[in-house]
Structure 1
Amino acid sequence: MTKQIHVNAFEMATPGHINHGLWRVPGNRRTQYKDLGYWTDLAQLLERGLFDAVFLADVVGTYTTYRGDRRAALKAGMQVPNIDPAFVVPAMAAVTRHLGFAVTSSTSYEPPFSHARRLSTLDHLTGGRLAWNVVTGYLPDAARNYGLPEQVKHDERYAIAEEYLEVVYRLLESSWEDDAVVLDGAEHTYTDPDKVHEIGFEGEHFQVAGPHLSEPSPQRTPVLYQAGTSSRGKAFAARHAEAVFLLPRDDAQAREEIADLRRLAVEAGRSPEHVKAFIGVEVVVGRTQAEVDQKIALLVEHRDVEGHLVLFSGWAGIDLSGDDTDSYLEYRGGDAMQTFERMWSEGEDRKKVGELVQHLSRPENNTFFVAGTPEQVADRIEEIIDGTDADGINLIQHLSPATFADFVDLVVPELQRRGRYRTAYTPEETLRERLFGTGNARALPDHPAATHRPAVEPVG
């Protein structure tokens, strides 16, 4: 059976997310990220294009690996300044009925009790359209911002995340019984007190009494996104993630990573089909090749290569600002993104520093940069999905809203013509039902969140 292709819009509330320097392009609205109108217009555009969700990235620190300080990041507008993505979701939800919202939040800094209430709040306000992108954080000064003397070690961050999710699951799934809210006016009873429970959690990192403060939301636990592909990150994703975001080097690596994640999911007692895989893809589309070439030239003209070096340095934990451009990158197994660090320092595609700088200088060097007419773009997207066993793409933008508008107006109709893209939303579905089918609003039975539901007494 041919897969229907899922599409998320990859966004961040900042002037420069993945592609840097493009806030300077005339007509680009990136600097309006702090205006509600930017977000409501975006939400309506994506809903018109029948997107699954808008995926909101976030960081709570600055990129300081490059040259050992944050000056280059600040100059480029490279993920700083930024605003809290959770607060733009209700505005987008108010002007849409179907679009989902994935919000990034770290398990390393904020206590799980307050975050659980935020998740329930947003799931209520969106009518069950919420996802949580679970991250552990990789920026050293983020740790210092939250009072830690140094960045938590890579694998220890995942150990904390395991316990953090255990707390969140208990709060969201077991603290309030399904029928706790009775709304009995005659008895002056909003909630049956006997059906609300403390969780009494005592762990190594967290102690949470409970009960949860919010009544059950449509999904209880929101859809869980995750992006870790280190050995520790993959084990975490295989156990908890319902959608995994990948930024692989090429199709072969994507295919290998997806197969490995699904193998690990089976080992964790889950169905491999319950882990959806999304690959980050950039698209430039035009009605003619001349139009495509013109758009690419505009991107290259305004591309801030140093901004890309700042981003790479932060992700990999390797400072690319040195003068020794003829030396190979060396894998050190640091405390940033270990998979990203390993990607360019090992194997056939190992690169010298100078080679990597050249690689980052032009967008076309990315295997998942897709440019062409609607037919050509659709061909390549189908090739990616079918050749890697991915379920969809996270569409990485260049211009706001031009990248998404072009995709909606030119690529979506072509994918629909081929039977690869929905032609309408299913009414009243939650985001989890969009991924896993009608009737699956709550975490699936093989997911660890489901183990915390109160046992249902048999009838009769």
Structure 2
Amino acid sequence: MTRRIRFNAFDMSCVVHQSPGLWRHPEDRSRDFTDLRYWTDLAQLLEKGNFDGIFLADVLGLYDLYGASPDAALSAGVQVPVTDPLPLVSAMAAVTEHLGFGLTTGTAFEHPFPFARRISTLDHLTNGRLGWNVVTGYLPSAAENTQSRSQLDTFDHDARYDHADEYLEVLYKLWEGSWEDDAVLADPVSGVYTDPAKVHPINHTGTHYTVPGIHVSAPSPQRTPVIFQAGASSRGSTFAATHAEAIFVAAPTQEKLAGVVATLTQKLEEAGRSRSDVVIYALLTVITDATEEKAQAKAADYRSYIDHEGSLALISGWMGVDFSSFDLDDPVAGIESNAIQSAVAAFQRSSGDEGREWTVRELAEFGGIGGLGPVLVGSGESVADQLEEWVDATGVDGFNLAYAVTPGTFRDVIDHVVPVLQARGEYPTSYSPGTLREKLFDADAHVPDNHPAARFTPTGVHA
């Protein structure tokens, strides 16, 4: 069976997403993130390369654990300033036909009722090309600015997922259960636009929310957007196995990554789902050029721009640890985290690194380009070989591609790597028709019967 390798672009509406210091490179355009043309140009480039989509990360807080201050993050431009990614989707959708959009928002910071309308709106405007990346929030500064004192008392890693379970239940009831497919009549003869008998209140009463009424938007092409998730801790992977259709994972070695995929596969089975019900993308950065020599020179050039303090500010936020209190040669050992627990685990006793602990210095250098995923360097042929090896060794379906410089990193992949994979029959030369869910799974536009959202469809829906 021929491999199928998928690409997704990983970006964020800020100047430093995953590669601190690279904004200073003369070929980088990340400083144009407030210019809508940057995003529309990027969307058209990615569609030219037959990318599944663009995944827009987001945070609603500062990376202020490093040195117990936001100064390092502010100085380095580490995910601050940052703007709302939602308005970008409409603009990018207007200039593309097939590209999917993975939108990140947190369940801790907005009531599900208005959020349901915003997502339905975007799914309508994109003709069903929307995915939602469900995050529970890991930055304490975001919680401090958006939550009550009683909510702050429960800002615990696992409690955030308990809250998110109910958040999604409310959304599923609104998206799937409130309106029947044929509720909208739009009949000029009778004068009836919507049949009231086919619109239902959801009558939700739970631990965190009471939502009695109807969804105020008519069903969008997918109803529930494709659910994206990136949780890889024990609780996070259980949540992902229950809800996610696309899962983003990150690990520095093939062995670590294979372990994450194996755990997710087992948890999918426990949730009554199968491995084929999800697409797993691994975080990875590609630095490539026409020849091996040019690619290696380009990588060396990029690494000369790394801001190591900015890297540690970013990693401190991800891991929930103040790395300013460590010596650079200290091992990354014995750390307990209330932030992204999988990020900590990935860099503790990496067996792919012969069992020794990573040091803080190595962590800062590794995370300086592309965050906590590996960086592949080489010609198009060499990178294609390496991608094949990662797929075969780990079981991932594709890659969530971060960038060193933007849009140059993405353009290089499209120019040098995509044609090689296409020639090998491992990468698409065109898009499948339909919504994002249809493109990813060659299936119906709506959630499958074994997805938890399907439990809330009333009689007559999806008939």
TM bin (shorter chain): over 0.9
CA contact (8 A) 2:250 2:373 kept: no
For 1:155-234, list aligned pairs within 5 A.
155-234=158-237
Q: Spell out structure 1 runs of 4+ moving beyond 6 A.
A: 364-367
Equivalent residue, structure 2, for 1:137: 137
Instruction: Describe the SS at the equivalent of 1:377.
Output: helix
Deviation readout 1:106-128 (Å, 9 max, x if unpaired): 11111011111111001000000
1:257 Cα shift?
A: 1.0
Output the CA distance in 2 between the equivalents of 1:367 and 1:378.
Answer: 17
**Change in 2 beyond 3 A, CA 1:345/1:41:** same
Output the CA distance in 2 between the equivalents of 1:308 and 1:125.
Answer: 37
**Change in 2 beyond 3 A, CA 1:329/1:290:** closer
Equivalent residue, structure 2, for 1:64: 64
**Change in 2 beyond 3 A, CA 1:107/1:19:** same
1:418 matches 2:424: yes
Deviation readout 1:426-448 (Å, 9 max, x if unpaired): 23x111111110x4211111100
Equivalent residue, structure 1, for 2:405: 399
For 1:3-402, list aligned pairs within 5 A.
3-149=3-149, 150=152, 152-322=155-325, 324-346=327-349, 348-357=355-364, 359-360=366-367, 363=369, 368-402=374-408
Output the CA distance in 1 between the equivalents of 2:362 and 2:32.
Answer: 35
1:366 Cα shift?
A: 7.2
Q: Which amino acid aligns with 1:446?
A: N
Gaps of 5+ in 2: none
1:170 Cα shift?
A: 0.3
Which is further off, 283-292 or 331-340? 331-340
Deviation readout 1:316-373 (Å, 9 max, x if unpaired): 1111112534543343433111111222234624234345345546x59977211111
RMSD (Å), alpha carbons: 1.9
**Identity across the alignment (%):** 48
1:433 matches 2:438: yes
1:307 Cα shift?
A: 1.0
Q: Which amino acid aligns with 1:448?
A: P
CA contact (8 A) 1:318 1:341 kept: no
CA contact (8 A) 2:89 2:101 kept: yes
Output the CA distance in 2 between the equivalents of 1:124 and 1:115.
Answer: 14
Output the CA distance in 2 between the equivalents of 1:443 and 1:57.
Answer: 23
Deviation readout 1:363-392 (Å, 9 max, x if unpaired): 599772111111001001111112211111
Q: Which amino acid aligns with 2:435?
A: T
Instruction: Describe the SS at the equivalent of 1:10.
Output: strand
Q: Which amino acid aligns with 1:377?
A: V
- How many positions carry a matched residue from both structures? 456
Gaps of 5+ in 1: none
Instruction: Describe the SS at the equivalent of 2:227.
Output: strand
TM-score by length of 2: 0.95
Q: Which amino acid aligns with 2:391?
A: I
Output the CA distance in 1 between the equivalents of 2:186 and 2:373.
Answer: 56
CA contact (8 A) 2:285 2:370 kept: no
Which is further off, 146-155 or 89-98? 146-155
Q: Which amino acid aligns with 1:441?
A: A
Deviation readout 1:401-453 (Å, 9 max, x if unpaired): 101111111111110000000011123x111111110x421111110011111
Equivalent residue, structure 1, for 2:450: 446
CA contact (8 A) 1:331 1:346 kept: no
CA contact (8 A) 2:50 2:430 kept: yes
Output the CA distance in 1 between the equivalents of 2:373 and 2:18.
Answer: 15
**Change in 2 beyond 3 A, CA 1:159/1:364:** closer
**Change in 2 beyond 3 A, CA 1:366/1:287:** farther
Instruction: Describe the SS at the equivalent of 1:302.
Output: coil
Instruction: Describe the SS at the equivalent of 1:159.
Output: helix
1:457 Cα shift?
A: 9.8
CA contact (8 A) 1:225 1:241 kept: yes
1:205 Cα shift?
A: 0.6
Instruction: Describe the SS at the equivalent of 1:440.
Output: coil
**Change in 2 beyond 3 A, CA 1:394/1:458:** closer
